Amino acid sequence: MARHSRPSLIVSEAWEAYSFAGLKIRIKESTDLYGAVLWPSAMVLCHFLETNADQYNLADKNVMELGAGTGLVTIVSSLLGAKVTSTDIPEILGNLGYNVQRNTRDRCKYTPVVTELSWGQQLEERFPRSTHRYDYVLAADVVYHHPFLQELLDTLEHLCQPGTQVLWAMRFRMEAENRFVERFQKRFSMELLYDLPSLNIKLYRGWKP
Ligand SMILES: C[S@@+](CC[C@H](N)C(=O)[O-])C[C@H]1O[C@@H](n2cnc3c(N)ncnc32)[C@H](O)[C@@H]1O
């Protein structure tokens, strides 16, 4: 596979409505990119955050979302009181910013920031570890058969400092996903939080030992 993010043939133009944190959320799925579609892992992660707010309290926490796509996880985290940096590749940021702004304006304590983070690129320049400390790094369905898995691991490593927790939901499709879990385990401590076999989705928590 070439080392660039490829458009798919997904050409739907639709609104989807969700309800999280007691509020209606409307997500626009559009254009022709994977990230412009809402993936089920995002809903699983949002459900987890909403129903486990006692133990994983996002209020006033610094949160980074990787591969935010249509923005549901960013929106729900912001509604739950987090200061969110929502990131993806440049092609995705227009629709992501639109969904995030539309669903968080006048509803959140902190306005989420939508910005580029292409995995493995300019990490220390754009997100220096001395000033950018995150309580949570969130990611939904960022592990699949793509050519940036090493860069994704490097990005997680860069963003994780003592006290940072990675909450990461993934759908298992092919062998590549299993191997990524093994590679992640070599660099992070981790535990399984959810196992949803009917959806082939697992939710993990990772942290630096
Ligand atoms: C399957 S989608 C998941 C989107 C969203 N998290 C969800 O669950 O609905 C994968 C996301 O990872 C992003 N992505 C892919 N390669 C990337 C890269 N090299 N750097 C940053 N983001 C990337 C895509 O643009 C897309 O938004």
pLDDT band at 7 (very low <50, low <70, confident <90, very high): very low
Tens digits of per-residue pLDDT, 8-42? 444 455 678 899 988 999 998 865 566 678 889 99
Handedness of CA 152, 124, 203, 110 (dihedral sign): negative
Measured CA to CA, the distance from residue 144 to residue 140 in angstroms comes to: 11
Mean pLDDT for the chain overall? 90
Question: What is the reported pLDDT for 30?
Answer: 66
Is residue 96 within 8 A of residue 117, CB to CB? The reply is no
Distances (CA, A) of 31 to 7, 8, 36, 67, 122: 9, 10, 7, 16, 27
Q: Is the pLDDT of residue 84 over 50?
A: yes
Assess if residue 4 is contained within a domain.
no
Residue of 88, 115, 151, 202 with the most ligand 1 atoms within 8 Å of its CB, for mutation = 88
pLDDT band at 88 (very low <50, low <70, confident <90, very high): very high
Measured CA to CA, the distance from residue 110 to residue 83 in angstroms comes to: 5
- Kindly list the protein residues whose Cβ atom lies closer than 6 A to any atom of ligand 1: 5, 34-35, 38-39, 41-42, 67-70, 88-89, 92, 118-119, 140-142, 146, 148
Give me the CATH number covering residue 140.
3.40.50.150
Assess if residue 6 is contained within a domain.
no
Assess if residue 168 is contained within a domain.
yes
Residue 39, Cβ neighbours under 10 Å: how many? 21
Domain that includes residue 180, residue range: 14-207
- CA-wise closest residue to 104 among 140, 67, 73: 73
Distances (CA, A) of 199 to 39, 40, 44: 11, 8, 10
Tens digits of per-residue pLDDT, 125-170? 999 999 999 999 999 999 988 889 999 999 999 999 999 999 999 9
Question: What is the reported pLDDT for 90?
Answer: 95
Residue 155, Cβ neighbours under 10 Å: how many? 25
Residue 164, Cβ neighbours under 10 Å: how many? 18
Measured CA to CA, the distance from residue 96 to residue 72 in angstroms comes to: 9
pLDDT band at 176 (very low <50, low <70, confident <90, very high): confident
Residue of 5, 75, 151 with the most ligand 1 atoms within 8 Å of its CB, for mutation = 5
For the chain, the straight-line distance linking the first and the last C-alpha, in angstroms and rounded, comes to 34
| Count of domains for the chain | 1
